[in-house]
Amino acid sequence: MLHKFLTLKIFIIISSISILSFSCSKSNDSQDEPVIPTGEEIFEILGEKTFTSSWQGETQSLTFKTNVKWSLRTDSGSSWVSYSSSGATPTETKEYTVELIPRENHSAKTRSASLILSYGADPKTTHIYVNQSGMPVCTAEKVTEDMFFSTCCAYTTTAVQQGFDYDPEDDMVYFSQINNAYRVYVSWRPRVRLTKDTSKAPSHIQLDYFSHGNNISIERDKAGNKYVWIANHGTKSASDGKYRYGQVISRVKLEDGKIVKSWETTDNYYFGTHNIHASIDWDHDRFLLYSLSDEDNYSVAVYKLSDVLNAPQKTVELKYEVVRGGEAKSGDPEWKGKPMVNVHDCRALKTISKFSHRYYLNNRGWQTVYLYGDKIYFFLLYSTPQNGRSYQTVLDVLDLNGNVIKSGIDMPFSDDIEGLAKYGYATNKDMYLENEVFLIKNGVLYLSFSTQGNADEIRRPLVFNFAADWLDVGM
């Protein structure tokens, strides 16, 4: 009797276990959940845990194999590295490759990122590191490949560039050049970092009888239309026929193939002076006017950009006489007089600051004046050989009241002709670079030069990129 009872009890227990097992199996099937492997946890990094990237941010590949749930996240202060996958739950031992994608480092300083890789039921962690170098600096001795930003040609290869600007939204570069003395070409094209192609820019506008064409600024409006701000109503020089001493800053819509005469502009800004050049700081609502006040001095005046844009409109007679036209190719007869121009009259505007400046001290000439934030930058060159160098490029940095913050910042890389030859941009040992434009956008310093004296006689704009924070002037 006892034997029968035990047998029945064992049968009931075994039956209950079987029913329970069947019920659990059915529940898992109905929910279609992955089966988490049991037993030994496997996790192994295949390759590197520490990666090195240039400032340009090359993608790195993190590879590992595992049979357990894993996740990846950035540690504090490391958000400049993104990744292609943040985790997974494998059903078997599997190999994973996660792409680590650093952003460009626009600082001269190196930086390090830490990512935390967690794995297992009772999570364990391991750290992954990405070390990134800083951008090159403008005081470097030698040219390196990562300095090059744009090397494509402008509209003509027989004239040096006078102005340069860059639109990061569509990665377009803009150049201004003087051609046949009386006309300025403003051309634009997609940027090409490294090329020896000599094809001209596919798009351009021709501006007749404007001025010297330097210190241009490109504006994009809300509809996506582009405009160039440029000095206008210059006068023809009796010595070389070139136009200088502009009296108006004009805002001209960029329309490919269009020819605009100086008197045809409709959006003009007048300050009552001449030999004017403008720098526009779109980020800080500021407008700088650099103009000739007498034979020995220039005047620097800083305004609110919004005040300039909203200055009252009227028709005025310009203060200084203009000579224009009469060139064989222009088709316009020579004209002398004081033009009547519809302008935004800025003569009564209140300035943020104003001071006198002698740019040519110590045998130096200025190429670009540039305003950004609370700093004014003068991009200069020595017109005679200095320290055994044909064209020594230097930079002065002033505050808004004209006080010198730094003077004579030297840029010896621009005389590294052997370095330029290595990349195919110098074809003559006597070739040199003429500095043209200084520009800061999105924390990047752009310096634009024109090639001079090449054996192939190609005038190519070379634009270099550097860390703006290297200037260390409180930016």
What per-residue confidence (pLDDT) applies to 429? 77
User: What does the DSSP 8-state code read for residue 357?
Assistant: E
Contact 274, 320 (CB under 8 A): yes
- Examine the pLDDT at 6 and tell me if it is beyond 70: no
Give the bridge partners for 322, in sequence order. 337
| pTM greater than 0.75 (yes/no) | yes
Fold of 145-471: Tachylectin-2; Chain A (2.115.10)
Q: Annotate 262-275 with DSSP letters as a single string.
A: GGG-S-EEE-S-EE
Within 10 Å of residue 84's Cβ, how many Cβ atoms? 13
What per-residue confidence (pLDDT) applies to 257? 98
The mean pLDDT value for 4-25 works out to 37
Measured distance CA(116)–CA(123) in Å, rounded: 11
Q: What is the mean pLDDT of the chain?
A: 89
The mean pLDDT value for 79-94 works out to 97
Q: Is CATH 2.60.40.10 the right assignment for the domain spanning 43-132?
A: yes
Closest CA to 342 of 318, 314, 300: 314
Task: Tally the C-alpha atoms within 13 A of residue 137's C-alpha that lie toward its C-beta.
Answer: 15
Contact 92, 69 (CB under 8 A): no
Find tokens 């078997």 and name the residue. 92
Q: How far apart, in Å, are the Cα atoms of 467 and each of 49, 104, 339, 444, 447? A: 28, 11, 44, 5, 11
Contact 263, 339 (CB under 8 A): yes
Sequence-distant (≥ 6) Cβ neighbours of residue 261 within 8 angstroms: 208, 209, 332
User: What does the DSSP 8-state code read for residue 402?
Assistant: S
Measured distance CA(208)–CA(261) in Å, rounded: 5
Confidence of residue 38 (pLDDT cuts 50, 70, 90): low
The mean pLDDT value for 117-144 works out to 96
The CATH 2.115.10 domain(s) of the chain lie at: 145-471
pLDDT (tens digit, 9 = 90+) per residue, 345-371?
999 999 999 999 876 666 778 889 999
Burial of 105 (0-12, 13-18, 19+ CB in 10 A): buried
The mean pLDDT value for 377-398 works out to 79
Both structure tokens of 146: 């990562």
- Examine the pLDDT at 200 and tell me if it is beyond 70: yes
The CATH 2.60.40.10 domain(s) of the chain lie at: 43-132
Sequence-distant (≥ 6) Cβ neighbours of residue 448 within 8 angstroms: 161, 164, 435, 436, 437, 439, 461, 462, 463, 464
- For the chain, the C-alpha Rg in angstroms (whole number) is 33
Burial of 246 (0-12, 13-18, 19+ CB in 10 A): buried
What per-residue confidence (pLDDT) applies to 456? 78
Find tokens 């550097």 and name the residue. 466
Sequence-distant (≥ 6) Cβ neighbours of residue 69 within 8 angstroms: 36, 87, 88, 89, 90, 119, 120, 121
